Amino acid sequence: MTKKWQIYETNPEKQKQIEKIVKEHQINPLLATILVNRNICDSQELNVFLHPTRHDFYDPFLMPDMEKAIERIKIAIDQKENIIIYGDYDADGITSITVLQSFLKDIGVSANHYIPNRLEEGYGLNIPAIEGIAKKGYTLMITVDCGISAVKEIEYANGLGIETIITDHHEVAEELPKAIAVVDAKRKDNQYPCRDLAGVGVVFKLIQALAEEFHMPEESYLKYLDIVCVGTISDIVPLRDENRVITKLGLRLVNQTKNKGLQSLLVSSGYQCIDSTTISFGVAPRINACGRMGHAEKALQLFLSEDKEQVNELTRELNQYNSIRQSTEKQIYEEAVMQIEKNQLDKNDTIVVAGQNWHHGVIGIVASKITERYFKPSILLCYEDELAKGSGRSIPGFDLHEALMKCLDTIEKFGGHSMAIGITLKKDMVEPFAKKVEMVAKEAHIEEIVPVIQIDSKVELTELSKEMVNSLKELEPFGEGNKTPIFVIKNLKIDSIRALSEGKHLKMTLRENNTVIHAIGFNLGELAEEYRIGDKVDVAGILEINTFNGVENLQINLKDIMKSV
């Protein structure tokens, strides 16, 4: 698949900024180049980016309705009301409940929680759950990572005598729920400097505000940064601004966490180095697997438990759910690919496939993988009686939500945003729907969209060193809004090339005069047939230090290759 390389160009003005940063902050030019290319040039902003401290958190009372929320919680504490925390079943929701329930326990307040079952209740507040909460005598409900769109549900709760504080981070509709307080930085009247907090980030601001209100030491809320960090990275929010402060400081705590459940998860993940990658690929999938398989309560118990035996047992269960999730995902993926190849759906501009007994909890992950494989918007559906329910994922440059608005005559209901949707159709409308989506995509000339690789900088192989590559760790944690840097090295000669793992991956040795670099290309094994020893190539990828048998070597983790011009 042809990819477009978009390389940041360094003009004279940028070069001056780079030289200034190198001199003032004593960092190497490569690191300074990336910072300038990412528009992190202001001295104060750069200091916070590279070396954040606890003093870099914003005033929590700048959040909309924060004062109202704190006053209502104080009344509940004074009057010993029954408080319930209503959360989501994903990693952000689980960590949000963990932080708030644990903090309230620290100040002598016993709060309970409610997590809807993903498979039976779906996301967010629902009427039967609220009825159950009312019957148990709860008079204050605090939502975490949900609630901003629950206008009818909050009105119903009000009628049952339950007052609600909403803490959320999702986009706000025209009408706000009639809650006691709506704490969400995406409100139109928001004055809070960081709009991109995860749900657990908003909860962190809530406990920070409570601690300040009760004149508690900073440690009383900062000690939860390990859990807040896990939820923030897991929810794939932009790791810039206050989110970077949370995750940069939080990862230090993760490395020495006192939370027994997190300790156990980290060990079971098998990662030697604890960084954002460990959280994204080792910890988050295990937490999310519980929610996907309908057992979110297990993940929450893991984080709240102080009993070592229980923690070990819960960790085993989380690993088991994750294994089931992986095998279920693999099965659906293979069935979907078989359908696509058999019916030549990959020749279309969009891909719509449906199957029996496809698990709702993982169908969205599979849609992402199908979209990644074919670089086409994909919608996967599961037949349920007379309905077909599923998820869709798009590609940059094609607004899937907008496209589906033109297909409403074939859809029962759908929701989401430009890149991801959830959808329900009638079974007999699947084929008409697929044709309609395809027509809309063709009208949008989707075939003209090509995948783009954002290149941070062009580098010379002879200039690279282990020290220079190691300095790039200053940019961590990596994630949404702060991607791992990708570099281009041009005019390299192929010294060796072969496919690994039954043709799946690519292994190369590249040379410029007497300087050699190793290269690994995951899922690029087919390129072994396109290139030969002696070919001159340009490569794009991530610079790494690879350690094998105690020997360290520079390595480039390939994202793409093309023949040198």
Q: Does 474 reside within a domain?
A: yes
For the chain, give the percent of residues with pLDDT over 90.
86
What pLDDT is recorded for position 138? 97
The strand order across the sheet containing 351-356 reads 351-356, 378-384, 387-393, 420-426, 413-416
What pLDDT is recorded for position 360? 84
- The domain boundary, picked from 316, 332, 354, lies at 316
Q: Please check the confidence at residue 293 and state whether its pLDDT lies above 80.
A: yes
Q: Please check the confidence at residue 550 and state whether its pLDDT lies above 90.
A: no
pLDDT digit string (tens) for 164-188?
999 999 888 889 999 999 999 999 9
Q: H helices of 405-540, where?
A: 430-443, 466-471
Q: Please check the confidence at residue 222 and state whether its pLDDT lies above 80.
A: yes
pLDDT band at 255 (very low <50, low <70, confident <90, very high): very high
Mean pLDDT, residues 532-547 taken together: 94
Count of structural domains within the chain: 3
Residues 268 and 127 in one domain: yes
Q: Does 229 reside within a domain?
A: yes
Mean pLDDT, residues 123-136 taken together: 94
The distance between the two most distant Cα atoms of the chain, rounded to a whole number of Å, is: 79
Q: Please, which residues have CB within 8 angstroms of residue 107's CB and are 6 or more apart in sequence? A: 77, 210, 214, 216
Q: Please, which residues have CB within 8 angstroms of residue 307's CB and are 6 or more apart in sequence? A: 260
pLDDT digit string (tens) for 302-316?
999 999 999 999 999
pLDDT digit string (tens) for 63-107?
999 999 999 999 999 999 999 999 999 999 999 999 999 999 999
Residues 96 and 129 in one domain: yes
Residues 257 and 355 in one domain: no
Closest CA to 138 of 116, 166, 110, 118: 110
Q: Please check the confidence at residue 139 and state whether its pLDDT lies above 80.
A: yes
What pLDDT is recorded for position 416? 78
Q: Which residues pair with 142 in a beta bridge?
A: 85, 165
Do residues 438 and 350 lie in contact, with contact meaning Cβ atoms separated by under 8 Å?
yes
pLDDT digit string (tens) for 463-519?
999 999 999 999 999 998 999 999 999 999 999 999 998 899 999 999 999 999 999
Q: Does 336 reside within a domain?
A: no
Do residues 382 and 363 lie in contact, with contact meaning Cβ atoms separated by under 8 Å?
yes
Q: Does 86 reside within a domain?
A: yes
Q: Please check the confidence at residue 351 and state whether its pLDDT lies above 90.
A: yes
Domain extent for 212: 60-316
What pLDDT is recorded for position 272? 84
Torsion of CA 275, 276, 281, 287, to 10 degrees: 100
Residues 164 and 108 in one domain: yes
CATH number at residue 463: 2.40.50.460
Q: Which residues pair with 540 in a beta bridge?
A: 488, 560
Q: Please check the confidence at residue 1 and state whether its pLDDT lies above 80.
A: no
Q: Please check the confidence at residue 282 and state whether its pLDDT lies above 90.
A: yes
Residues 37 and 78 in one domain: no
Residues 526 and 496 in one domain: yes
Q: Does 504 reside within a domain?
A: yes
Q: Please check the confidence at residue 214 and state whether its pLDDT lies above 80.
A: yes
Q: Does 338 reside within a domain?
A: no
- The domain boundary, picked from 448, 481, 512, lies at 448
Q: Following DSSP, what letter does each residue of 145-199 receive, concatenated?
A: S--TT-HHHHHHHHHTT-EEEEE--SPP-SS----SEEE-TTSTT---S-----H
Mean pLDDT, residues 546-554 taken together: 84
Residues 108 and 253 in one domain: yes
What pLDDT is recorded for position 280? 94
pLDDT digit string (tens) for 359-407?
988 999 999 999 999 999 999 999 988 999 999 999 999 999 999 999 9
Residues 27 and 47 in one domain: yes
Q: Amino acid identity of 536?
A: K
Residues 225 and 363 in one domain: no
State both tokens at 223: 């000690």
Residues 265 and 144 in one domain: yes
- The domain boundary, picked from 270, 299, 316, lies at 316
Residues 133 and 250 in one domain: yes
Q: Does 392 reside within a domain?
A: yes
Residues 109 and 250 in one domain: yes
Mean pLDDT, residues 151-175 taken together: 94
- Report the distance separating Cα 299 and Cα 519, nearest Å: 38
CATH number at residue 357: 3.10.310.30
What pLDDT is recorded for position 189? 95
Average pLDDT, the chain: 94
Do residues 559 and 541 lie in contact, with contact meaning Cβ atoms separated by under 8 Å?
yes
Q: Please check the confidence at residue 257 and state whether its pLDDT lies above 90.
A: yes
Q: Does 41 reside within a domain?
A: yes
CATH number at residue 163: 3.90.1640.30
What pLDDT is recorded for position 489? 96
In 197-273, the DSSP E strands lie at none
